[in-house]
Amino acid sequence: MTSIAAGAKRPVVAALYREALPPRLAEIEKLADVRLTKADGLAEAMDGADVLYQWHSFSPALRENWSAASTLKWVHVSAAGVSQLLFDELIGSNVVYTNSRGVLSRAIAEFALGFVLDMAKDAQGSFRLQQQQRWQHRVTRKIQGQRALVVGTGSIGREIARLFRAVGMEVDGAGRTSRPVDADFGQIHSSGDLAGTVRNYDYLVLAAPLTTDTTGLVGAEVLAAMKPSARLINVGRGELVDTLALTGALASGSIAGAALDVAHPEPLPEGHPLWRMDNVIITPHMSGDTEDYLDDLGKLFVDNLKRYCNGELLENIVDKALGFVPTPEPSPT
């Protein structure tokens, strides 16, 4: 990859932000000359810059000012999902593109496990009864021995698998290619055959990146193939699911429930039928956002900037053609 060698001139970093400044700014300034900018000043800030630190994660400003990015060697974005940020000129360039993969994986996995526990133990039903001041005994479901299929076998999917297995669940994965044996999953199925696979699972958990191949991955055919007692969890991207088909499946009882941290469209419009369904849990795209997550994102960039200054290989290099960081397959155990 292109980087400056140790001892060469200090890199110039254009840091794009919206409101709050990036964390660990003092550490960044020890390593580089920093130009702080909002979107309307990005073209000027990128003039002669080596690095773009896109702290304003989902800003389209780079695409809009690409003609001013002639000296850029590296772009880092403080998000894991980058499909909506890539564009033809960037993909075809020699600019190295890194993301924040892995920083939020454990938090998202904890959120997914929380969804499983919430649905299995009917926490929502208990809350509704509490609001009515009703003492109504019920029975709930064990999660030990329940089977989950996690779509997405990258860092988030693997953290989910480890946590689910730790509480006694059986976990398989679904990814671009199938594998009969895997260190974190019992086996990995091809995500291209979800309809033929999902009938064997109690939970279908979506943690895949959004690409042309995964957009609309869970549609009417997949939902119809799920067990009537099965539940869908989405901590990936809203566009992975056909929202109209999901709404119909939940209303008809074709599947038992859903827990959605993401939606399509997002935010979910006021008055949408999903809001009113007792078998649906909706949270506002917050599964990775713990109290210290912003500092964790900042630390990743500082660590990568140190590698850049030392001429070392960067972490989290995105395959721009694929739209995500390829995950080396771990050796079976």
| Residues noted as catalytic | 237, 266, 285
Please, what's the b/e burial string for 261-290 (b: 16 or more CB within 10 A of its CB; e: otherwise)? bbbbeeebeeeeebeeeebbbbeeeebbee
Please state, in angstroms and rounded to a whole number, the distance separating the CA atoms of residues 160 and 184: 9
Cis omega (within 30 of 0) on the bond before 209? no
- Nearest residue to 289 via CA among 106, 160, 150: 106
Please state, in angstroms and rounded to a whole number, the distance separating the CA atoms of residues 20 and 18: 6
Which helix (H) or strand (E) segment holds residue 131: the answer is helix 123-131
Which helix (H) or strand (E) segment holds residue 148: the answer is strand 147-151
Instruction: Look at residue 250 and give its three-state secondary structure.
Output: helix
Residue 297 CB neighbour total at 10 angstroms: 22
